[in-house]
Amino acid sequence: MWQEDPNKVFTVRGKSVQNVKISSDSKECSIAAICVLPDRQVLVADNNNENIKLLDQQYQVVSHWNATTWPWAMCQISASEVAVTLENGYIHEVQFIKVNNRQLVTVKNLKLRHTCNGIACHEGDLYITADTALFKYTLNGKQVSKMYEDTSDSYTGLCKNDIILISSG
């Protein structure tokens, strides 16, 4: 029986470079998060230009949504909805955005009392990281618990690409 190398994660078969700059972008694009919806539309969070861009299946920008500050992380909530963390040190928000007929529409906004760097959704709950803590929220914005905190360093709780990572010091 053939067995794959357990250290091999995947093989890259090719790559392509896509330009997601739009006319209103004043800075170089800095993609902080990407979310692919079931219909293969792609949402990208452009941190530098403070916007969320909707790409079609050919990776062309078809719509965008202007954020109030830097978008940092994004996770899928439903087949057509994402949650995006907006954070700049003064603004701590989670913005829910829905794709409707190739347009990005604001659904709701949660204002938080702590920083929000990362976000993941699992079984109807939101997991939001602050710099040093992990919080659990309902989709309605009710804080369920502070699940973890480690203040031994500046960034001990991280959430990247829908995977919550907790450092052990």
Quick: pLDDT tens for 6-50.
777 778 888 888 889 999 999 999 999 999 999 999 999 999 999
Query: Which CATH class, in words, describes the domain spanning 31-166?
Result: mainly beta
Q: How many helices (H) and strands (E) does the chain have?
A: 0, 14
For 96-111, the pLDDT digits (tens) are 999 999 999 999 999 9
With b for 16 or more beta-carbon neighbours within 10 A and e for fewer, the 98-132 pattern comes to: bbeeeebeeeeebebebbbbbbbbeeeebbbbbbb
Q: Domain boundaries in the chain?
A: 31-166
Sole residue written with tokens 């529409």: 105
Give pLDDT, residue 46: 97
